Amino acid sequence: MVWPMRPLELYVHIPFCIRKCQYCDFLSGPSSKEERREYVTELCQKIRTYKKLAGSYHVVSIFIGGGTPSILEAEQITVIFEAIRDTFVVDEGAEITVEMNPGTVTEEKLTAYRQAGINRLSIGLQSTKDEELRILGRIHTYEEFLDTYRLAREKGFGNINVDLMSAIPGQTVEEWVDTLQKAAELRPEHISAYSLIIEEGTPFYETYVRGREGDESFGKAAKEREEADLCAGRLPDEEDERQMYRQTKEILKEYGYHRYEISNYALPGYECRHNLGYWNRTEYLGIGTGAASLMDNKRWDYGEEPMVLSMKEQMEEYMFLGLRKTQGVSKTKFADEFGRGMDTVYGEVLEKMYGMRLMEETDDFVRLTDRGIDVSNTVMCEFLLE
Amino acid sequence: MAGADQSKIRNFCIIAHIDHGKSTLADRIIEMTGLLTSREMQSQVLDNMELERERGITIKAQAVRIVYQAKNGEEYIFNLIDTPGHVDFNYEVSRSLAACDGAILVVDAAQGVEAQTLANVYLALDHDLDVMPVINKVDLPSAEPERVIEEIEDVIGIEAMDAPQISAKTGLNVEEVLEQIVEKIPAPEGDPEEPLKALIFDSLYDSYKGVIVFCRIKEGTVKKGTPILMMATGAKAEVVEVGYFGAGQFIPCDELSAGMVGYITASLKNVKDTRVGDTITDASNPCAEPLPGYKKVNPMVYCGMYPADGAKYPDLRDALEKLQLNDASLQFEPETSIALGFGYRCGFLGLLHLEIIQERLEREYNLDLVTTAPGVIYKVHKTNGDVIELTNPSNLPDPSEIEYMEEPMVKAEIMVTSEFIGAIMDLCQERRGIYDGMEYIEETRAVLRYHLPLNEIIYDFFDALKSRSRGYASFDYELDEYVKSDLVKLDILINKEEVDALSFIIHADTAYERGRKMCEKLKEEIPRQLFEIPIQAAIGSKIIARETVKAMRKDVLAKCYGGDITRKRKLLEKQKEGKKRMRQVGSVEIPQKAFMSVLKLDDK
């Protein structure tokens, strides 16, 4: 074995779900039992092909994402983990997460997860309002979520994330606050609270973006949705949307959660290590349709040619990914990694950003201010080099 | 063809209102006389610039020689000179007409006589041309040839009873047109033995031959070796080649003599030496007097042209120089704008000319341009007695130094059906027009005459005219004198900083409205930025309108995980690229198209 082994994160993609949500642009869709069986078989074979590469790494975290991975049978999860453990050296204390949606989870599956070493669950709730869940095209009610959540606790899962979504069509600030409070009262260790993004190619896009651009055919699509009672009025305006965002931080703070990334909140010590790896540029290997990888300063999408990142691109990534963290980016680490001071490369931009109160400096770290987070794309653009 | 029998030559042009079928008829004539088969013909041979075909207009004069076997058994040489069809090129039109002995007047059987038809007919009659009417598009269901014939006789006052009723599109009765050309268009006159006297009606630059001069020989003879003199510009050269116009090609011949139409090359390097309207004579045996009617055409409309990418400044200069080789009326000189950087102040014959040059720069030279609002030449009378001809609003002297200002006026004729007279009069009123009379040319149609300030018609007058008359009004104008006017400079301030490229001169009465519209438009065009941006219109230190672009509230991606990073990078790069394409004025980024958008402030 080569020494020293480098830390590696594994991501496994399961592109299946019961039904596509109205806002979802992930690579995912309904499938047959047969398709799932074949996919899992191929996935396991693929995992095993990494045997040689695996020799240089020790796995620090695993994330089974989707889609809805909990749609797989208990035994399918078991074989995937057998393949992983046969191939890779997985750390004793590795963080191992699986994503799930209420309505697909059984006691049997949870038992299998425990046996496979899964120690963290990420449950998609989005809202505690059944009407909002319906608008989003979710397959479950709030009550069904509660059943799943309780079952998971009963089975001994001590690290649970709950996904929430703000700025849902028709949602008021009060309704969002209520969802937040109900979720926080359940005391999950982690909450991801995303402001809805209307992505191109989703039904929401057709309804709320193109439908409003006066394009006849899309106007028609929007009308049909209205008739089917799937249109809950307008999207919250920018002002309300930002108020929801600000309130999220305040309210969750009252419950003991702190924001450590633009959309992520955790009780102390429960920050998602796997996701932090993306923002810290830890190496990761993505397996399965639609998964992406970063290894040896090469990025690639599953099945595609790796693209080598230049020093310039690495520095840019360091900044625009790292600045998502509320802690910000370390100047010392930057200098260690690139052999140049952050001020040498970005001094001018940083000064400008401090001047506009979009960023601030604390000891070794530079980070976005709350205002900077609101307009973070505009700020991050500045860190792309000529 | 040397010494051809003058009685077998016919030099003529076709005049028509836009879209009445001038170029189609020319094509059909060329095709039917066997010069080209229909398969070889790229539709509309004479409009050979891509832009001309697209816009359905003729920009440069063209000529073609056709041989026609008449029914009387004789062979005739037709020289068909295609004239530019737009008021911007009025002078060129007049010189093309002067090169002809007769004109075919094409009138649309459904539309009838229009303002431009009249203007062109009068121009032809001014040049003593025999005008031969042709009724076109008789195959249309809405055609009313009888009514149109009556109209031609009543309105224009020329005999039209035996006008051929044709369809240039299908070729119906075009044969009859050819026969009538022989009968009705007079043969040229002139003595081949007299000293040379040739009229330049166009010229173009060819990188191999140098300048190719299009001319009509009025007197005398010219051949290879003749030392020639341009009587107005004084340029001298020795003839290298003479010839006539084949379809899309130049065919050399031994000599050109009185009555003939053809070309001359003489190693001339610049079209500035061969101005349209000038007279060519034999330097060793000059004629006593030049032909009448020469004038140097001067630009009437000016605007700033800037490369969107500042690094393309030298490319813009090269392109303008090349275009000028073929277009002596295009003028340009370097200027600098705080907002737009380095560019050129360019002068044009009119707005169409401006648009054509702009499009050619963009298409043929691949330049991305930012154009400032077009303006006319104002005369600024200063308190110290000096008079400045102002082409760039930024150069307006301090108000304390200005005694008064003058602006150019035009005499306009608008032909309109009676139901729209009110609407058109309102429009002219809004544009500060002074009513100058109206005549009914038939029961339901009238010609309105107005004095209008040129700066009121260079923007969107034509569009407004069309929209308020549902397309029925037609319009023609000629330049008139300068008059004293209450003019002010309207400035636009973005985030409290004056944007020089957006300043322009305007009448005090319309400044408020215009300023308000510009602010509204700019508010739409300037994207929200990190801070609030006031947009103000001002006259001197007085703010007359204001809008505000609110600060950007939100520009954040909620999610960015392992699979999103490549996409996130692309998004940021796109955003950054978008910023690059903007112009930085102070701390505000202004999109290029914001500068252009204020040129089109629609009425409705």
Q: Is the peptide bond before B186 cis (omega within 30 degrees of 0)?
A: no
Residue B604: exposed, middle, or buried by beta-carbon count in 10 A (0-12, 13-18, 19+)?
exposed
Q: Is B566 on the interface with A (CB under 8 A)?
A: yes
B572 in contact with A at a CB cutoff of 8 Å?
A: yes
If one compares B329 and B237, the residue with the highest pLDDT of the two is B237
Answer whether B569 touches A (CB < 8 Å).
yes
Q: What is the pLDDT of residue B599?
A: 73
pTM attached to this predicted model: 0.70
The whole-angstrom distance between residue A253's C-alpha and the CA centroid of its chain comes to: 21
Nearest-neighbour CA in chain B from A238: distance (Å): 7
Residue A25 and residue A84 in one domain? yes
Residue A330 lies in a domain: yes
A263, A356, A375 ranked by CB distance to B554: nearest: A375
Q: Among A122-126, A186-190, B565-569, whose mean pLDDT is lowest? A: B565-569
Question: Which one is predicted more confidently, A209 or B9?
Answer: B9
Contacts of A48 (CB under 8 A, 6+ apart): A83, A86, A87
| Cα B96 to Cα B64: distance, rounded to the nearest angstrom | 13
Does A156 lie in the same domain as A115? yes
- Alpha-carbon gap: A293 to the closest alpha carbon of chain B (Å): 7
Cα Dmax for chain B:
91
CB contact under 8 A, B530 and A378: yes
Residue B589 has pLDDT above 70, yes or no: yes
The beta strand positions in B486-557, using DSSP E, are: 487-494, 497-498, 504-507, 533-539, 542-549
Say whether residue B571 is in contact with chain A using an 8 A CB cutoff: yes
Task: Give the length of chain B.
Answer: 604
User: Do residue A244 and residue A341 come from a single domain?
Assistant: no
Element spanning B202, H or E = strand B197-206
Cβ–Cβ contact A176 with B under 8 A? no
Length of chain A equals 386
Which residue of A302, A381, A385, A386 to mutate against B (max B Cβ within 10 Å)?
Answer: A381
We report the CATH number of the domain holding residue A166 as 3.20.20.70
pLDDT at B224 exceeding the cut of 60 = yes
Residue A258 falls within a domain, yes or no?
yes
Average per-residue pLDDT for chain A: 93
Judged by DSSP in three states, B595 sits in: helix
Q: Which residues are CB-contacts of B183 (< 8 A; sequence separation ≥ 6)? A: none
Per CB-CB distance under 8 Å, the chain B contacts of A358 are 530
B552 touches chain A (CB under 8 A): yes
Buried b (16+ CB within 10 A) or exposed e, B240-275: ebbbbbebeebeebebbbbbbbbbbbbebeebebbb
Q: Which of A241, A292, A378 is the closest to B566 by Cβ?
A: A292
**Residues of chain B neighbouring A197 (CB-CB closer than 8 A):** 557-559
Q: CB–CB of B556 and A294 under 8 A? A: no
Distance from CA of B522 to the nearest CA of A (A): 21
Question: In this predicted complex, what is the ipTM?
Answer: 0.92
Residues B415-441, mean pLDDT to the nearest whole number: 92
Give domain status of residue A245, yes or no. yes
Domain finish residue from A256, A279, A302: A279
Residue with tokens 């040689």: A52
Query: Does the structure show a pLDDT above 60 at A170?
Result: yes
Structure token pair of residue A369? 């201010």
Within an 8 Å CB–CB cutoff, is residue B67 touching chain A?
A: no
Average pLDDT over residues A218-243: 69
Q: What is the dihedral of CA B408, B413, B417, B422, to 10 degrees?
A: 40
* Joined tokens for residue B598: 């204020």
Say yes or no for a CB contact (<8 Å) between A286 and B573: no
Smallest CA–CA distance from A165 into chain B, residue: B558
Q: Give contacts of A376 with chain B, Cβ < 8 Å.
A: 555-557
- Residue B538, strand partner residues: B491, B543
Tell me how far CA of residue A381 lies from CA of A320, A385, B198, B344, B451, in angstroms: 8, 9, 66, 33, 55
Residues 6+ apart with CB under 8 A from B265: B206, B209, B210, B211, B212, B213, B239, B240, B241, B242
Q: Say if residue A218's pLDDT is above 60.
A: no
B279: which strand partners? B199
Burial B21-41 (b: 16+ CB within 10 A, else e): bbbbbbbbbbbbbebbeeeeb
In a domain, A26, yes or no: yes
Q: Are residues A253 and A377 in the same domain?
A: no
Residue B2 has pLDDT above 80, yes or no: no
| pLDDT one-digit tens code per residue, A286-316 | 999 989 999 999 999 998 999 999 999 999 9
Q: Does A385 touch chain B (CB under 8 A)?
A: no
Picking from B555, B559, B569, the nearest residue to A378 by CB comes out as B555
Q: Are residues A337 and A258 in the same domain?
A: no
* Residue A73: how many other CB atoms lie within 10 Å: 16
pLDDT for the residue numbered B44: 44
pLDDT of res. B478: 81
Q: Which whole-number Å values give the CA distances from B571 to A167, A277, A292, in the listed order?
A: 22, 21, 17
CB neighbour burial string for B372-388, b if at least 16 within 10 angstroms, e if fewer: bbbbbbbbbeeeeeeeb
The winner for highest mean pLDDT among A153-167, B111-125, B417-431 is A153-167
Q: Closest Cα of chain B to A151: distance in Å?
A: 28
**pLDDT at position B350:** 81
Among B553, B556, B563, beta carbon nearest to A377: B556
A344 and B CB contact within 8 Å: no
Residues A56 and A150 placed together within one structural domain of the fold? yes
- Check whether A223 has a pLDDT greater than 60: no
Q: According to the model, what pLDDT value does residue A90 have? A: 97
- Give the model's pLDDT for residue B271: 82
Q: Name which of B556, B559, B570 to mutate to probe chain A: the one with the most chain A Cβ atoms within 10 A of its Cβ.
A: B556
Q: Do A384 and B563 touch (CB under 8 A)?
A: no
Residue A10 lies in a domain: yes
A271 and A376: one domain?
no
Same domain, A326 and A252: no
Same domain, A321 and A240: no
Closest residue by Cα to residue B423 from B477, B476, B464: B464
Query: Lowest mean pLDDT: which of A161-165, B185-189, B589-593?
Result: B589-593
Q: How far is CA A103 from the centre of its chain?
A: 21
Report the pLDDT averaged over residues B422-450: 91
Question: Which band of pLDDT confidence, cut at 50, 70 and 90, is reported for residue A227?
Answer: low
Looking at chain B, the whole-number percentage of residues with pLDDT higher than 90 is 54
Which of A262, A374, A381 shows the shortest C-beta gap to B576? A381
B269 touches chain A (CB under 8 A): no
The parent domain of residue A249 ranges over: 6-196+235-279
Q: What pLDDT score was predicted for residue B127?
A: 85
For B330-365, how does the pLDDT look when each residue is reduced to its tens digit (9 = 90+)? 899 999 998 899 999 999 988 778 888 998 898 889
pLDDT at residue A330 greater than cutoff 90: yes
Average pLDDT, chain B: 87
pLDDT in tens, B502-535: 998 999 998 999 899 999 999 999 999 989 999 9
Selected residue of A377, A382, A383 to mutate for chain B interface (largest B Cβ count, 10 A): A377
Q: How far apart are CA B246 and CA A62, in angstroms?
A: 79
A311 contacts chain B (CB < 8 A):
no
Percent of chain B with pLDDT over 70: 93
Q: Domain for residue A48, yes or no? A: yes
pLDDT at B37: 45
Q: Do B559 and A194 touch (CB under 8 A)?
A: yes
Burial A1-18 (b: 16+ CB within 10 A, else e): eeeeeebbbbbbbbbbbb
**Packing angle of the helix pair A311-322, B565-580 (nearest 10 deg):** 100
Chain A residues whose beta carbon lies within 8 Å of the beta carbon of residue B558: 194-197, 262-263
User: Would you state the pLDDT for residue B54?
Assistant: 55
Bridge partners of B494, per DSSP, are B497, B535
Mutation target vs B (from A378, A383, A385, A386; most B CBs, 10 A cutoff)? A378
Best CA proximity match to A127, nearest among A119, A136, A114, A116: A136
Instruction: Please provide the distance, in angstroms rounded to a whole number, between the alpha carbons at the two ends of chain B.
Output: 59
pLDDT at A226: 57
Residue B84 has pLDDT above 80, yes or no: no
The helix/strand/coil state of A381 is helix
pLDDT digits (tens, 9 = 90+) for B25-74: 888 888 887 655 444 444 444 445 555 555 554 545 578 888 898 999 99
Query: How would you class A310 by CB atoms within 10 Å of its CB: exposed for 0-12, middle for 13-18, buried for 19 or more?
Result: exposed
Q: Are residues A58 and A192 in the same domain?
A: yes
Residue A217 lies in a domain: no
Position B85 scores a pLDDT of 62
Residues A28 and A103 in one domain: yes
Predicted confidence band of residue A207 (pLDDT cuts 50, 70, 90): confident
DSSP character at residue A383: T
Q: Does B577 touch chain A (CB under 8 A)?
A: no
Which pLDDT does position B469 carry in this prediction?
Answer: 84
CATH of the domain at A323: 1.10.10.10
CA distances for B297 relative to A167, B59, B90, B352, angstroms: 64, 16, 10, 16
- Average pLDDT of the residues in A364-382: 96
Split at pLDDT 50, 70, 90, the class of B474 is: confident
Q: Where are the beta strands (DSSP E) in B523-581?
A: 533-539, 542-549
Cα nearest neighbour of B570 on chain A: A381
Q: CB–CB of B566 and A286 under 8 A?
A: no
Lowest mean pLDDT of A310-314, A328-332, B43-47, B378-382, name the range.
B43-47
| Domain contains A121 | yes
Name the pairing type of β-strands B533-539 and B487-494. Answer: antiparallel
Q: What is the mean pLDDT of residues A343-361?
A: 96
Does A255 lie in the same domain as A332?
A: no
Model pLDDT, residue B510: 87
Domain count, chain A: 2
